[in-house]
Amino acid sequence: MARRLDYAQADFVDRFADLLASKRESDLDVSAAVADILADVRQHGDEALLQLTEKFDRLQCKRIVDLAIGQDEMNAALANLDPALRDALQVAATRIRAFHEKQMPEGFTYSDEDGVVLGMRYTPVDAAGLYVPGGKAVYPSSVLMNAIPATVAGVARRVVVVPAPDGFVSPMVLAAAALGGVTEMWRIGGAQAVAALAYGTQTIGAVDKIVGPGNAYVAAAKRQVFGAVGIDSIAGPSEILVIADNANDPAWIAADLLSQAEHDEAAQSILITDDRDFADTVAAAVDTALPQLARSDVAGASWRDNGAIITVPSLDVMPTLADQIAAEHLELAVADPRVWAAKIRHAGAIFLGRYTPEAIGDYIAGPNHVLPTARTAKFSSGLGVVDFMKRTTTVECDADSFGRIASAGIELANSEGLGAHALSMSIRTNR
């Protein structure tokens, strides 16, 4: 049974703080093991990749090229896919692409009052590594969510790495790679895949940025290679906050809570409601639905260990609680959801209304489902086109405009004791 909290309880503040502070990530310290893997791949390249892939994925190959997945294989998987599944992927890809195309930044150029021409432009990175998790489930949706923004941004080389236990990669993942515009794909996973993307090998070229979620080893590897390459974020276990009033069907809300619980035993599902009776009916609906799930063992553990139901005297206190939780996914299953959404500052993605379950965002709504977890929505955002781009500023002076602003620059350079800086400006003013 998930923990129950009541805003009216004298110890609510302390219990709520304990909920926020609860550690859901694995206690397993893999940093040393990951460091060894990174060093091995960096030093021995292809040879290390082959050995590590055989060790961890039971996939034995004599050459790195045997781990490659060609465009023909991706296209064949798409062509041979069940028509209903292929159509569903097509709908998802079209909607995701349309949303991300609207994110393209335009940059600007203007001439200021001194005549200096200033501007900013956006250009894509040359190569991006897209990590697609394997393990507990198949995630073709993650392929689309990672690859399409990179494609829209104009990244020339879009490299997918995916674990392939015993050599198997789901045809759905391959089909999604074809639709997403993947240019290069490898049957390599884990920290060794991150190392190959970060440092390159004799066969696999290094990339400029690595994105996408993975297990504890992948997360640790991304931390350790940051600086050699860029990364998007360190993904933690999935989470959802559902804010619901008693006008909802409790079975719907229960299903929404379980939609994230089934991801991982460490996932977290929280309900906030202003009706105690409704809270009880949702809890009962969760108990009813759990045994019917294929992943009931995972969802049950998540709900029991990390789930929570919070009752409040009115929804007026909800924005403050929601901002403290800063959930990856926030559902507002209430009347006037837009009004309430305007009062909330911190969430990875917000789903408004009774007919907008978070699950629709995981697949086909359009916005990206790679989102900040573990309260990091307070300072970070979901994956988007700009994550595959960088800003470059431009400055252009002529003799007149330079003369108007240089004296102030010379003064500041001298105040910092940087004589060559001052000289670089003063020499152009003959002073």
Delineate the domains of the chain, giving CATH numbers in brackets: 3-24+236-365 (3.40.50.1980), 31-107+123-231 (3.40.50.1980), 397-426 (no CATH)
Average pLDDT value for residue range 188-202 = 97
Largest CA distance in the chain: 84
pLDDT, tens only, 371-425: 999 999 999 999 999 999 999 999 999 999 999 999 999 999 999 999 999 999 9
- pTM, two decimal places: 0.92
Kindly give the residue spans of alpha helices, DSSP state H, lying in 154-274: 171-180, 190-199, 216-225, 250-261
pLDDT range class, residue 215, cuts 50, 70, 90: confident
Predicted confidence (pLDDT) at residue 25 exceeds the cutoff of 70 = no
Collapsed DSSP state (helix, strand, coil) of residue 421? helix
- Give the full edge-to-edge strand order of the sheet including 268-273: 3-6, 308-311, 268-273, 239-244, 329-333, 349-352
- Mean model confidence pLDDT for the chain: 95
Q: Which of 414, 220, 322 is nearest to 16 (CA)?
A: 322
Q: What is the mean pLDDT of residues 128-150?
A: 89
CA proximity to 210, closest of 134, 139, 158: 158
pLDDT at 1: 81
Find the mean pLDDT for residues 327-352: 97
Cβ contacts of 90 within 8 Å, gap of 6 or more: 179
**Active-site residue flag, 369:** no
**Non-local CB neighbours of 296 within 8 Å, separated by 6+ positions:** 290
Residue 23's pLDDT band, with cuts at 50, 70 and 90, is: confident
What SS3 state is found at 277?
helix
Give the tokens for residue 32: 């040393």
Distance, CA of 355 to CA of 407 (rounded, Å): 62
Count of alpha carbons within 13 Å of 261, Cβ hemisphere only? 33
Decide: 130 and 82 in contact? Cβ < 8 Å.
Answer: no
**Hey, which residues does 185 pair with through a beta bridge?**
69, 160
Rounded to 10°, the helix 46-57/31-44 angle is: 140
Q: Which of 106, 112, 105 is nearest to 395 (CA)?
A: 112
**Closest by alpha carbon to 328, among 369, 388, 367, 300?**
369
How big is the chain, counted in residues? Answer: 431
Quick check: 314 pLDDT over 90?
yes
Kindly report, residue by residue over 237-249, the tens digit of the pLDDT. Answer: 899 999 999 999 9
256 or 24, which is more confident: 256
Report the helix count and the strand count for the chain, using DSSP H and E.
Answer: 17, 15
Residue 54 pLDDT > 80: yes
Strand-pair category, 230-231 with 308-311: unpaired
- Using the predicted structure, report yes or no on whether residue 267 has a pLDDT greater than 60: yes
DSSP 61: -
Name the catalytic one among 100, 263, 329, 369: 329
Tell me if residue 328 is catalytic. yes
Asked if residue 77 lies in contact with residue 143, where contact means CB atoms within 8 angstroms, the answer is no
Active-site entry in 262, 328, 331, 358: 328
Any idea what DSSP says for residue 45?
T
101 confidence band (pLDDT: 50, 70, 90): very high
